[in-house]
Amino acid sequence: MNRVSTGGAAPQRVFLQDVAMRDGLQAETAFVATDDKVAFVDALSRTGLAKIEVTSFTSPKAIPMLADADEVMRRIERVPGVEYTVLVPNVRGVERALVTPPDEFNLVMSCSETHNLANLRMTRAASVLQLLEVMRLSAQAGVPVNVSLSCSFGCPMEGEVPAEVVLDHAATFVEAGARGVTLCDTTGMAYPSQVAALCDAYRRRFPRAMLTLHVHNTRGMGLANALAALHAGVDRFDASLGGLGGCPYAPGATGNVCTEDLAHMLALEGCRTGVDLSALLDCARRLGGLVGHALPGQVVKAGRRLDLHPVPASVAEARDRAVAPLAGRPEQAR
């Protein structure tokens, strides 16, 4: 197993990208006020995250939660060093988004034909054509593009999705000029050796393209998959604060991997994420109030590894009893 940092080697730089405000909120039912979204993005901007997926320029009818995409993008404060990305599904989305241009457009399609039909209501071939059109317009506007490939590790309806299908879709977009691809474990079907193998194959085939891993914790393997990817050289991770969200279209799907839990593990593994874990945990504690329900994040509940607990009084008593004979107290006192 390759260690990411051993001895005197410099710690590995890892880029953390939070998707709670788009991928997470999209799965919520109760509308979150625009003011609250803006304030939350502004707070996240000060945690040291590398990238924030702010919103989605989909049709307000399709996703009412994110109908205020224009206003949110106009009002958030752009903190230098943080990239602000938005999802755009089509040319209309790009045109809307360009009014307050983000640092990146995130495009989405699925590697599974069935999932693409269920989720986007078109074939994969039609999605490819549409996204290439979006890419041409983005290039004209000078906004770089990332493509998120859903179901890269399996489809909840079809089952296995061959690695070649995933890599060929990645090739289509990388060759058309995408800066990078996100391999998405949309419904938590990925397992560690699969993650390592696919990420490794991607990096060998596209050595100059960015690679992001987007994992879910649906079957408990979220951080194990992130670890496997880390050791395969992956240095960019999507995650969702508090573990907010999932995929509303994929049956049975729950749980984006939790940003603060991932950041906590990466710090322990010696990675340099630039994230201020205290600030991130503060945001995570606020998020439950924003969406009005409990969230699956675990470090928020248990505290960081070295957040110590007070020593109970019984310990001093037990210690006193233990040393009593040495102190010359009567034997009965033991």
d(CA 276, CA 81): 14
Catalytic residue among 151, 247, 258, 283: 247
Whichever of 159 and 292 has its CB closer to a second copy, that residue is 159
Question: Is 311 near a second copy (CB under 8 A)?
Answer: yes
Phi then psi for residue 63, to 5 deg, are -130, 85
What number of chain residues touch a second copy (CB under 8 A)? 69
Structure tokens that stand for 189 in this block: 């079907």
Phi then psi for residue 147, to 5 deg, are -115, 125
> Catalytic site residue 247?
yes
Question: Is 189 near a second copy (CB under 8 A)?
Answer: yes
Query: Rounded to the nearest whole angstrom, what is the least distance from the CB of residue 148 to a second copy in the complex?
Result: 20
Taking residues 23 to 62 in sequence order and writing x for each that binds a second copy by CB under 8 A, - otherwise, the string is ----------------------------------------
Question: Is 78 near a second copy (CB under 8 A)?
Answer: no
43, 122, 210, 324: residue in contact with a second copy (rule CB under 8 A): 122
Query: Rounded to the nearest whole angstrom, what is the least distance from the CB of residue 73 to a second copy in the complex?
Result: 30
Residue 210, strand partner residues: 180
Q: Can you give the length of the chain in residues? A: 334
The single residue listed with the structure tokens 């630039």 is 274
Per-position DSSP letters for 191-229, written without gaps between them: -HHHHHHHHHHHHHH-TTSEEEEE-B-TTS-HHHHHHHH
Residue 147, strand partner residues: 107, 181
Nearest to 212 by CA among 170, 159, 165, 272: 170
157, 165, 201, 210: residue in contact with a second copy (rule CB under 8 A): 157
Question: Is 295 near a second copy (CB under 8 A)?
Answer: no
Tell me the C-alpha to C-alpha distance, in Å, between residue 180 and each of 17, 46, 148, 211, 312: 14, 25, 9, 6, 52
Question: Is 227 near a second copy (CB under 8 A)?
Answer: yes
Question: Is 1 near a second copy (CB under 8 A)?
Answer: yes
Question: Is 252 near a second copy (CB under 8 A)?
Answer: yes
Instruction: Give the 3-state DSSP-derived string for 311-334, with helices as H, strands as E and coil as C.
Output: CCHHHHHHHHHHHCCCCCCCHHHC
Whichever of 34 and 254 has its CB closer to a second copy, that residue is 254
Question: Is 163 near a second copy (CB under 8 A)?
Answer: no
Question: Is 165 near a second copy (CB under 8 A)?
Answer: no
Q: Annotated active-site positions, please?
A: 247
Interface positions with a second copy (CB under 8 A)? 1-4, 114, 117-118, 121-123, 126, 154, 156-160, 188-189, 191-194, 196, 217-224, 226-228, 231-232, 250-254, 258, 261, 264-265, 268-270, 297-299, 301-306, 308-312, 314-315, 318-319, 321-322
